Structure 1
Amino acid sequence: MQIETPPSEKPYDKAEGERRGTVIVNTGDGKGKSTAAFGLALRAHGRGKAVKIYQFMKVPSARFGEHRMFEQIGIPIEGLGDGFSWKSQDLERSGQLARDGWEKARAAILSGEFFLVVLDEITYPLIYGWLPLEGVLETLRARPKHVHVVLTGRRCPPEIVELADTVTDMAMVKHAFKAGIPAQRGIED
C-alpha cells in the first residue's frame, strides 16, 4: 500500500449548471449494481423524495431482503419478471412480462410523480430482445426535468451508456462464488 498525503485543497470546482434529473447506469460483471441503486433509493427516501423500484427479473412475489426492508420503510418495489431466464418455463411469457413491466415503468417515469425510478436489471430484457431499445431511449429523453432514473444490469447497451449522465462499470476482481462459497441470504439477495 502506498501512503498518500491528504488533499489540502478541494479536488474539484463546484458545478455551476442547473439541478436536474439524471440518468445513472450501474453495469459490469462485478457485484453491487443493484445494491448501489438501492442505496440511492434509500438516500432519496431519507430526504422525503418519492421513489419507485421496478425489478425486471424478479417475480412479483419475491421476498428478498430488499423487499422486506423497503416494505417496512415504505418504498414501493415491484417484481416484473419470472426469475432467471434459465429457470423460465416459457421465454415468450418472460418477454411479455418484460414488455408489460416496461409500460408500468415508462408510465411512472413520464408521470413525474417520482423523484427517482430504479429500473433494476433492465439490461437483460433489452439484450435478450424482449424490449425495444428505442422506446427506452425515448422515455429517458422525454422524462420530466426533475426525474432521476437508475438502470442496472450487465452489458448495458452502448446507446444508453452514451445518453447517461453517470455510468459506473463494476469490475469483478474476485468473487466468493468462484472459490466455492455459495450465495448467502442477506449478502446476495
Structure 2
Amino acid sequence: MTDRQSRHRNAMRNLKSHVDEKVAAATEQRGLLLVFTGNGKGKTTAAWGTVTRTLGYGYRAGVVQFIKGMWECGERERLADDANLSVHIMATGFTWETQNRESDTQACQAVWADAERLLSDPEVYLVVLDEITYMLKFGYLDIATVREALANRPAEQTVIVTGRNAHRELLDMADTVTEMQEVRHAFNAGLQARRGIDY
C-alpha cells in the first residue's frame, strides 16, 4: 500500500468514526422546523424539493405561498395532480406590485387561515410556509400568532419556512437554519428569470 493510500485510509477511518458517533447520538424522532433564509437564490426551490421527497413516500404535504403564488411555478404545475398535495395561494401576487397594505393584509390573513388548518392537522406530514418572512416583516402577520401555531403543531409534522430576513424568533425556534448566500445573481447582470429554471 502506498503512503498516500495509507493516509487516505486513516483519514476515512477517522471520518467514519466521527460520523458513526453522530448517528448513534441522534436518538430523537419528531417533526422539525426548518428555516431557509438569506439573500441567495434557491430557498423556495429547496422547499419544493422537500415537498417532492415527502410526496414520493406517500405522505401528505401542504404548501402556502405568500408572495409568489400568482407567478408560474414549475414544481407546483408538475405536482398539482398529486392527491397528497394541497396548495394555498395568497391571491395578490408580489406586494411591491399591489402597493396596498389593507388588501395585502386581508389576503395574507385569508391564506394564513389555510396555514393554521394545515398546522393543526396530524395527517399533514410537511407544511411549507413559503415567503412568510415578508408577512412578518411588513406586519401583515404577528410573530406571536405564527410562533403559537408552530409550537402547537402535531409532533410528527415538519414545517419549512422560507424567505429573506427570517424573524429572530423563528431562527431561535428552528431545528435547522440554512442561509442561502448570494455570490452572484444573473438578474443583477440584466438576465431575465428563465422559465423552467428560475420558476
Fold conserved (TM > 0.5)?
yes
Post-superposition offset of 1:62: 4.7
**Does 2:112 match 1:102?**
yes
Q: How many residue pairs end up in the alignment?
A: 184
Aligned residue in 2 for 1:7: 12
Q: Which moved more, 1:106-115 or 1:10-19?
A: 10-19
Deviations 1:130-184 (A, max 9, x none): 0000010011111111010000000000010000000001000111111211111
The normalised TM-score by structure 2 is 0.86
Q: Hey, which bits of structure 1, 4+ residues long, moved more than 6 A? A: none
Where 1:76 maps in the other structure, the secondary structure is: strand
* Distance across 2 between alignment mates of 1:154 and 1:89: 19
Q: Which runs of 5+ in 1 are unaligned?
A: none
Range moving further from structure 2, 34-43 or 85-94: 85-94
1:66 paired residue among 75, 84, 104:
75
Q: Distance in 2 between matches of 1:148 and 1:27?
A: 17
Residue matched to 1:32: 42
Instruction: Please identify which structure carries the higher helix content.
Output: 2
| 1:92-171 superposed matches below 5 A | 92-171=102-181
Larger Rg computed on CA atoms: 2
Taking only the aligned residue pairs, the percentage that are identical comes to: 39
Secondary structure of 2:120's counterpart equals helix
Partner of 1:83, secondary structure, is: coil
State the 1:112 CA deviation: 1.4
1:17-74: CA deviation from partner (whole Å, max 9, x where unpaired): 3210000000000000001111111111111111111101134x65421221111444
Q: Distance in 1 between matches of 2:99 and 2:38?
A: 27
**Contact 2:88/2:111, CA 8 A, preserved across alignment:** no
In 2, Cα distance between the equivalents of 1:129 and 1:106? 18
Is 1:173 paired with 2:183? yes
How far 1:89 moved relative to its partner? 5.2
Task: Check whether the contact 2:88–2:114 (CA below 8 A) recurs between aligned residues.
Answer: no
- Offset of 1:81 from its aligned partner? 3.6
Separation in 1 of the partners of 2:76 and 2:48? 11
Q: CA deviation at 1:76?
A: 2.2
